[in-house]
Amino acid sequence: MTIINIPPLDRTLEPAIQKLLDEKAKPVGSLGQLEDVAVQVGVIRGALKPALGKALSIIFAGDHGLTEEGVSSHPPEVTAAMVQNFIGGGATISAFTRLAGADLKVVDAGVKFPVTPGAGFVSARIAEGTKNAAVEPAMTRAQCDEALNKGIEIAREAAASGVDIVAPGEMGIGNTAAASLIVHRLAPAALDNVIGRGAGLDNDGLDRKRAALHKAASRTDTTDPIEVLTEFGGFEIAMMCGFMLGAAAENRVVIVDGFIAGSAALAACRIAPAARERMIFSHRSAEPGALAILDSLEADPLLDLELRLGEGSGAALAIPLVRAAAAILTDVADYPR
């Protein structure tokens, strides 16, 4: 993996940002958590009045060999079909991104079935899906490094194009299984406590998923974040982790979505702890493993809407809230004195 240096944020401006916030034409603290976000955004961007430019919703897509174990209620063909829907503009994230005034990109990190390129499509395929993590490592270390580095590269390109807010999301049948294993090792948390129904497993399916994940977890006891991604992750999760690292290194605001994106954020924070300071958590996912991520990273999400779709949908919903927080500093008048 490319060595990426993410130093702690320079907090020199923080007292001045807080003072400016307190002098606005409103009761001190009356905008609650938005005021905390305003200070965080100012510190990330190194500005008393942070003018936020473009926002980017970006979906990383990949398939998982773990689906061979029956961990999902849907076949892997659905990954490619949904990617095509993202490109065509008909998905939930497409609608939410338009409403947020953000751009949308879709990255093929390792989709098993063919996708017809279109607007916003980025080809970065590592392989046609990962191996079955229940019986062997999901990917090689070289593949994991390639995915991480590609994510960093995409983030740097976005920053260079004027993107100030990134809202990564994902698509990949079977990826709640991979995320459960990642969170189990990196939070850490008991495996059974972070396994959910994903896209709608029935009780028999949930039993199969639990058995498959315990089988996978028994292969290795590693807790090294890059090794954990190599053993259990998906190409989309590893590339999204790299993207978060790259965006954090560029001092961009990283809005973290739900469970899958949260597992990538957790890995990013274990690789480079200072990345956490650049992250704003959008929502409290209904997936059981999401709580372990939030607890481990001491994160207080902006929304609690019982979402569990993925796609970066919760992160897209939070883009206007982050802009609103910055607008307190840039657009609200000072209290007359």
Q: Please list the active-site residues.
A: 311
Q: What are phi and psi of 108, to 5 degrees?
A: -80, 100
- DSSP state for residue 181 in the 8-state scheme: H
Give the whole-angstrom CA distance, residue 265 versus residue 72: 23
Q: How far is CA 310 from CA 41, 173, 260, in A?
A: 24, 11, 7
DSSP 57-120: EEEEEE--GGGGGT--SS-THHHHHHHHHHHHT-SHHHHHHHHHT-EEEEEEEE-SS-----TT
Backbone angles phi, psi at 138, to 5 degrees: -60, -35
With beta carbons less than 8 A apart as the criterion, state whether 107 and 41 touch.
Answer: no
- Side-chain-side CA neighbours of 31 within 13 Å: the count stands at 22
Cα distance between residue 251 and residue 156, in whole Å = 10
DSSP state of 44: H
The 3-state DSSP class for residue 311 equals: coil
Q: What is the DSSP letter of 7?
A: P
